[in-house]
């Protein structure tokens, strides 16, 4: 026997409860196709967006998704009753008194068999609300023959809610009640506002932070990497890295993405400030997670990776992460992030997906531990909002090492992982070098493909501190950062240009030699202090162009990799000198290992694809004194040709390290192979590529 309830009361209560499962948002289009439809949201979810009359034409849309819900209509539910085993979902749309009339398009997620999604409209007048209802039974099958009517406005919604909450049959708990997302047409592409379904006021938590529902990513977080390809991994690791940083993605920084910090406490700015702003209540934690998961999902997208790869000739990205991005509460236990460990429960999945997006485009990934336990530099970029450096406490060093070993073990079989950077810009305290050594050893002791995984040190920029890298048995690189806007504030641009080509370049050349060609410029930018520029806007542009170009030329010739900081900012125009997406079009132009334009790169690719290895390089008797040079020449030419005939075109970067590896392999079969002669021949072979590949350009 079915029990019958007052549908008005049920609809009102569920209007609040359903939004706990509301995940998606679309923007209007003439065809009615949602442009931002979540692809992996659960069944029964609703996507909302404002629309105009013109937007509401067309037939039901095809969406490549899944689900089992059907849209039955909108209206209030007077004179209706539902059976207890019906699964009723309702959502309340509110328009404030001072707002204009709004129209919303309501789309259910597509049926799993027909892949059809149905959209309907609802109009909400000022100072009123309406309810949209969907009905399915327990197994998700739509319930037919239900008549929809306009919902009556209750004189006392709160009283009605109280009544329904006291009934034993109510399927939701008070903790599940949440607001409903409403977006005005003028802000359709933004987040919108979550409104309290009972009083029409913004529902907030913590330091006046807007309550948010769970966020569902636009694409799957299930990542699959192809089997490890040692030959491809070697090519990606040893080529010159023409790269960019993907900053403020997993370690957020206020100056780069200020919208994430809208409700932080005054004076706080590191990632921890976001968490403090939302507070550590269950609703605050859930809302902070929703905020950050949307950021991880949308800050850098496949479109950005396509642009980097196919328009900008970028072959590698440096991705900063924090220890809190690792999965499991054990990584944040006894840290300032402990109370918010649930915020990051999906974070590592997004990191792995980022690596996969790069892999799909043959782009390398340098994973950079930007934020260590205790903070290695006390800066905002290590996650903290107050200055302190506690990394050098033994327990924090131990935990940081363990985290890095975990990362290496998890990613050791990922072909496009070109390296792991152990720390970012640490203080140069006693014992730091020893910690680098022991951590690198712990990573390589994992064995398997981790044994040859490149590790990157970030250390004070002196040849004395980096010289030990030259003779290491494993691939160890040295990262230096080059900025002029901090230390050269107000210095004339002419002096800075001289410095780039003079003393700084000489210092980099010395470092490259000391490290055995293992120097990396892990961060640099085109930013200049405004006081350094002179003349009018046109002259400023000319000065910045020359500043960018001289840096690129220096880093190409005096290092094995360069990573611009950073690819993206919320306001690229304001931070122009820091934003690669803005700088490339204006001042960079060419960013591959040879400094060729896209058209020139294609010509080199075509010419080198047809160019054979010179015969005299392989016709020397193996017992000859010149055999070592000949073998070196062939190996050098082969790798240079291979790199010149891949997209994007590149050249050998970590030359000294690669020569050591190749000579070691050849020596196993030819004990008489001389290292010095082999190295000289290798150098000659490598230089044939620009000579023969670009002679007709």
| DSSP 8-state class, residue 239 | B
Q: At a CB cut-off of 8 Å and minimum separation 6, what does 271 contact?
A: 251, 252, 322, 324, 371, 383
pLDDT for residue 225 is more than 50: yes
In a domain, residue 496? The reply is yes
Token pair for residue 480?
A: 């230096």
- Select from 565, 597, 629 the last residue of a domain: 597
d(CA 607, CA 601): 10
Is there a single domain that holds both residue 653 and residue 579?
A: no
Least confident window among 97-111, 285-299, 531-545, 556-570: 97-111
- Asked whether residue 278 is assigned to any structural domain, the reply reads no
Which residue blocks in 224-270 are alpha helix, DSSP H? 230-238
Least confident interval from 117-121, 396-400, 487-491, 593-597: 117-121
Q: Which of 18-22, 60-64, 249-253 has the lowest mean pLDDT?
A: 60-64
| Mean pLDDT (the chain, rounded) | 75
Residues 83 and 191 in one domain: yes
Are residue 474 and residue 447 in the same domain, yes or no? yes
**Is 112 or 158 the better-scoring residue by pLDDT?**
112
Is residue 275 situated within a structural domain? Answer: no
Of 472-481, 583-592, 611-620, which range is least confident?
611-620
Strand partners, 652: 239
Instruction: Cite the beta strand spans of 227-309 per DSSP E.
Output: 241-245
Question: Which pairing describes strands 102-108 and 561-564: parallel, antiparallel, or unpaired?
Answer: unpaired
Do the beta carbons of residue 590 and residue 697 sit within 8 Å?
no
Percent of the chain at pLDDT exceeding 70: 66
User: Which of 597, 630, 652 is a domain's end point?
Assistant: 597
- Domain region containing 529: 230-251+301-597
- Do residue 618 and residue 519 come from a single domain? no
Determine whether 532 is exposed, middle or buried from the number of CB atoms within 10 Å of its CB (0-12, 13-18, 19+): buried
DSSP state of 417: E
Tell me how crowded residue 67 is: count the other CB atoms within 10 A of its CB.
19
Question: Cβ(14)–Cβ(6) under 8 Å?
Answer: no
Whole-angstrom distance, CA of residue 381 vs CA of residue 371: 7
Residue 190 has pLDDT above 80, yes or no: no
Distance of CA 427 to the CA centre of its chain: 26
Quick one: average pLDDT of 107-120?
Answer: 43
Q: Are residues 432 and 535 in the same domain?
A: yes
Average pLDDT over residues 669-690: 87
Q: What is the pLDDT of residues 28-53, one digit of tens each?
A: 222 222 222 222 222 223 333 332 22
- Domain identity same for 310 and 171: no
Q: Of 124-128, 245-249, 601-605, which one has max mean pLDDT?
A: 245-249
pLDDT band at 614 (very low <50, low <70, confident <90, very high): low
Task: Decide if pLDDT at 368 tops 90.
Answer: yes
Mean pLDDT on 112-125: 51
Query: Residue 681 pLDDT more than 60?
Result: yes
* Residue 490 binned pLDDT confidence (cut-offs 50, 70, 90): confident
Looking at residue 103, what is its pLDDT?
A: 62
The answer to whether residues 370 and 517 belong to one domain is: yes
Cα dist from 682 to 125, 239, 676, whole Å = 77, 15, 10
| 256, part of any domain | no
- Beta bridge partner(s), residue 180: 195
Same domain for 619 and 585: no
Task: Find the CATH number of the domain harbouring 484.
Answer: 3.20.20.80
pLDDT at position 130: 56
Tens digits of per-residue pLDDT, 70-96?
Answer: 222 222 222 223 233 334 344 455 566
Same domain (yes/no): 368, 502 = yes
Q: How many CB atoms lie within 10 A of CB 198?
A: 19
What are the residues whose beta carbons fall under 8 Å from the beta carbon of 587, sequence distance 6 or more?
A: 526, 541, 544, 545, 547, 548, 549
- Say if 92 falls within a structural domain: yes
Note whether residue 296 is domain-resident.
Answer: no
* 409 or 97: which leads in pLDDT: 409
Please check whether residue 580 lies inside any domain of the structure.
yes
* Cβ neighbours of residue 667 closer than 8 Å, sequence gap 6 or more: 673
Confidence of residue 469 (pLDDT cuts 50, 70, 90): low
DSSP states along 24-92: EE----TT---TT--SSPPTT-EEEEE--GGGG-SPPEE-S---------BS--TT---BTTEEEEEEE
CB 464 within 8 Å of CB 504:
no
Q: What local confidence, expressed as pLDDT, does residue 670 receive?
A: 84
Give me the number of domains the chain comprises. 3
Task: For residue 303, give both structure tokens.
Answer: 């479109």
Query: In this model, does residue 191 exceed pLDDT 50?
Result: no
Cα separations in angstroms, 283 against 205, 275, 289, 342: 7, 12, 10, 12
590 contact partners, CB below 8 Å, separation of at least 6: 313, 552, 596, 597
**Spatial contact of 120 and 73, defined as CB atoms under 8 Å apart:** yes
For residues 193 and 243, state if they share a domain.
Answer: no
Least confident range from 229-233, 495-499, 510-514, 667-671: namely 667-671
pLDDT of residue 262: 95
Please tell me the pTM assigned to this model: 0.74
Q: Give the pLDDT score at 259.
A: 95
- Which of 172-181, 302-311, 380-389, 614-623 bottoms out in mean pLDDT, i.e. has the lowest? 172-181
649 within some domain: yes
Residue 592 banded pLDDT, cuts 50, 70, 90: confident
For the residues 13-32, what does the mean pLDDT come to? 28
Instruction: Say if residue 129 is exposed, middle or buried (CB neighbours under 10 Å; 0-12, 13-18, 19+).
Output: buried
Q: What is the C-alpha separation between 653 and 556, in angstroms, rounded?
A: 9
pLDDT more than 90, % of the chain: 53
Query: How do beta strands 119-124 and 193-195 pair?
Result: unpaired
Confidence (pLDDT) at 691: 54
pLDDT at position 28 is 23
pLDDT in tens, 193-224: 333 333 334 489 999 999 998 899 999 999 99
Q: What is the DSSP string of 34-53?
A: -TT--SSPPTT-EEEEE--G
Q: What average pLDDT score do residues 357-380 get?
A: 97
DSSP at 203: P
Give the residue among 671, 637, 675 at the shortest CA–CA distance from 656: 675
Whether residues 491 and 394 fall in one domain: yes
Q: Residues 580, 605: one domain?
A: no
Q: What is the mean pLDDT of residues 316-320?
A: 99
d(CA 196, CA 181): 9
Please count the CA atoms within 13 angstroms of the CA of 401 that sit on its side-chain side.
21
The last residue of one of the domains, among 597, 614, 633, is 597
d(CA 357, CA 363): 9
């Amino acid at each position: 026997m079915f029990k019958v309830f007052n549908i008005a009361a049920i609809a009102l209560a569920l209007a609040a409860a359903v939004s706990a499962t509301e995940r998606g948002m679309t923007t209007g289009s003439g065809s009615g196709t949602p442009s931002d439809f979540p692809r992996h949201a659960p069944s029964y979810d609703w996507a909302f967006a404002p629309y105009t009359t013109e937007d509401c034409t067309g037939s039901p849309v095809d969406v490549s998704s899944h689900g089992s819900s059907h849209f039955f209509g909108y209206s209030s539910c007077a004179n209706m009753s539902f059976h207890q085993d019906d699964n009723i979902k309702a959502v309340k749309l509110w328009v404030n008194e001072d707002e204009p009339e709004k129209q919303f398009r309501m789309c259910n997620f597509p049926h799993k068999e027909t892949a059809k999604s149905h959209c309907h409209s609802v109009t909400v007048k000022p100072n009123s609300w309406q309810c949209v209802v969907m009905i399915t039974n327990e197994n998700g099958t739509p319930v037919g023959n239900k008549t929809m009517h306009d919902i009556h406005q209750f004189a006392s919604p709160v009283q009605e809610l109280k009544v329904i909450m006291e009934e034993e049959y109510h399927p939701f708990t008070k903790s599940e009640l949440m607001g409903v997302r409403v977006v005005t047409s003028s802000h359709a592409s933004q987040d919108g506002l979550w409104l309290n379904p009972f009083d029409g006021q913004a529902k907030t938590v913590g330091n006046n932070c807007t309550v948010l529902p769970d966020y569902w990513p636009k694409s799957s977080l299930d990542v699959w990497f192809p089997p490890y390809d040692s030959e491809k991994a070697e090519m990606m690791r040893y080529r010159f890295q023409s790269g960019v940083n993907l900053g403020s993605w997993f370690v957020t920084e206020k100056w780069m993405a200020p919208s994430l910090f809208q409700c932080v406490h005054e004076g706080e700015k590191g990632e921890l400030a976001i968490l403090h702003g939302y507070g550590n209540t269950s609703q605050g934690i859930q809302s902070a997670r929703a905020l950050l998961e949307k950021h991880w999902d949308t800050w850098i997208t496949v479109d950005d990776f396509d642009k980097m790869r196919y328009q900008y000739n970028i072959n590698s990205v440096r991705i900063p992460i924090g220890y809190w991005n690792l999965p499991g509460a054990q990584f944040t236990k006894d840290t300032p992030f402990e109370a918010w460990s649930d915020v990051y429960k999906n974070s590592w999945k997004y990191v792995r997906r980022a690596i996969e997006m790069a892999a799909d485009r043959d782009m390398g990934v340098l994973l950079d531990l930007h934020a260590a336990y205790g903070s290695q530099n006390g800066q905002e970029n290590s996650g903290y909002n107050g200055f302190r450096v506690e990394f050098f406490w033994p327990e924090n060093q131990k935990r940081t090492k363990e985290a890095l070993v975990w990362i290496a073990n998890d990613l050791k079989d990922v072909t496009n992982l070109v390296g792991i950077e152990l720390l970012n810009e640490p203080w140069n305290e006693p014992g730091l070098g020893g910690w680098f050594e022991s951590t690198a050893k712990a990573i390589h002791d994992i064995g398997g493909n981790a044994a040859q995984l490149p590790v990157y040190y970030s250390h004070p920029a002196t040849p004395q501190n980096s010289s030990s890298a030259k003779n290491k048995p494993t691939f160890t690189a040295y990262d230096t950062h080059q900025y002029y806007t901090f230390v050269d504030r107000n210095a004339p641009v002419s002096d800075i240009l001289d410095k780039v080509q003079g003393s700084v370049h000489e210092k980099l050349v010395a470092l490259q030699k000391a490290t055995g060609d293992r120097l990396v410029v892990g961060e640099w930018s085109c930013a200049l202090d405004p006081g350094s520029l002179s003349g009018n806007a046109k002259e400023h542009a000319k000065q910045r162009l020359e500043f960018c170009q001289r840096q690129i030329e220096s880093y190409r010739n005096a290092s094995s990799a360069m990573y611009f900081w950073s690819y993206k900012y919320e306001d690229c125009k304001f931070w122009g000198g820091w934003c690669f997406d803005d700088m490339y079009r204006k001042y960079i132009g060419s960013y591959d290992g040879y400094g060729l334009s896209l058209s020139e790169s294609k010509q080199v690719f075509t010419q080198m694809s047809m160019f054979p290895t010179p015969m005299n390089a392989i016709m020397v008797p193996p017992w000859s004194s010149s055999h070592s040079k000949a073998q070196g020449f062939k190996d050098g030419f082969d790798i240079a040709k291979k790199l010149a005939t891949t997209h994007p075109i590149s050249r050998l970067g970590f030359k000294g390290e690669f020569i050591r590896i190749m000579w070691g392999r050849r020596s196993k079969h030819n004990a008489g192979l001389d290292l010095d002669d082999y190295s000289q021949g290798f150098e000659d072979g490598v230089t044939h590529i620009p000579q023969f590949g670009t002679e007709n350009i």
